[in-house]
Structure 1
Amino acid sequence: MKRTVFTQTLKEQRRGLIGWSAGLAVVPMLYLPSYESLKEQGSLDIEQNSMYDAMGLSDFASATGFLNSTVYSLMGLLLMLIFAVTIATRSAAQEENGTLDLLLAQPISRTGLLLQRFAALAVQVTIATAVLTVSVIAGVDAGKLDVETGNIVAASAGLGLLALLAGAVALLVGAATGKRSLALGVAALLTVAGYLANNLGGDWLRKLSPFYYANGDSPLVNGWNGVHLAVLAVAAAVALTLALVSFDRRDLAV
């Protein structure tokens, strides 16, 4: 049964995974191949303003700045976070529609079920991150951006762990309340707060935001930062642990 929950989750969500992966594959190819021509035309000489600061966008004319602004701080980031949060709230949705009791009637513990849900989430986030990474590398090559492949992988790793953390937080709220809408709302609120804190806050406030640890050290320029990635991984593990405790102790609406 333990294996079945994990594999069944992946089977049930495979169409969604394919759709989201396709979207993530398209995003870099919409922007990156046009970089060289846009730069030659002077179209990337954009004056910085407060709106761009709030969105974490800057230095459009440089290869790393353009890649970061279009993918890792904008569309790629947005799609990855929405994807992770959406699939992470599945358990709460099953509790609301009354199908969760069918799973719990089988010889599997609550914590075992939630662990396998998280494992399925982690696998799907990994696949989506890999698809995005491959597409970025292809787009960088097509647009002739001078960005090292290793740094692209490092930036994608940070984004993937950030998405996994967002999913773990959504899983935690869903496990604690059994309300999918509340899980989505809280995860969205915390995500926006973290995003703005990283882009507009002072140094101390930025370091409280998970976005800082995903992209604050400019991995597209500086490469891997193992400490920052470890912070994201530990935060996700803490959220998962709290989710397991909450789910195991709460009276379920089944």
Structure 2
Amino acid sequence: MADRWRGPNRRQFLLGGAVVAASAVATTETAAAGPFGSGDLGPWQHLVRAISTEAQIQRVLDTDGVFMFGDSLAVQDGKTLAQRLAARTGDALAVHNWSGQPSSAAVDALARWKQSYGLPRRILMAMGSNDIFSPPAVAGQVDRAMDLIGSTRTMIWVNVQVVRAAKTVSVQLADQRNSAWVNVQLADAQRRHSNLRIVRWAEYLAAKPNRLGLYLRDGLHTSVPLGQAARNDLMVQALATARSTGKTAEGG
């Protein structure tokens, strides 16, 4: 089990993409840039959120739709995602999207929703950008989420690409290294959990040189409409495949 805590190797680092524009992740920088070089995650509980009502949650359960847990990217893009998903598959989407939250908080919310409402067949985790401040924690949170959903449901998890060019070069490099570290842990978890599928947003961005600049407006959040449409399409494709076959295709 100790292998899951290692940082990414050079090939995995390069897969994450090139150093690009700045991001607006919630942070409090320290002189040492935190224990992993990206700084420390600042208070996020006061940041903007989008959380479905109980009526919306019940509608998803009644129709076997999708629960989504996300961060600031999901707050920005969630409404458009819901529209695309409904148009493609007819599925309803209930969301717990909160800017700045790390995966641990999203899994806490998943546990609360499971206890209060139960769970649909598909869960979407658009999470991980705020885990660059403590990347070793990701593996345990993924395993915790998989334990919560059990073996008969499908988890779709979107991997991450974060580089904040407004920071110093050393912090930018740490952001990229830590993004890759998060993604390595997701890939490792997929080998442990047959019902976990990864939407490979980072690899999608790295596949063509112009995508980072066109699809990210600040090195993290998607540009609108190009990046938003591209990332949402990857998620909709994965969810649609899960709906029709009980499995999910890897994004990208």
Regarding TM over 0.5, the answer is no
- Shorter chain as denominator, the TM-score bin is 0.3 to 0.5
TM-score (norm 1): 0.32
Indicate the structure with greater strand content: 2
Larger Rg belongs to: 1
TM-score (norm 2): 0.32
Indicate the structure with greater helix content: 1
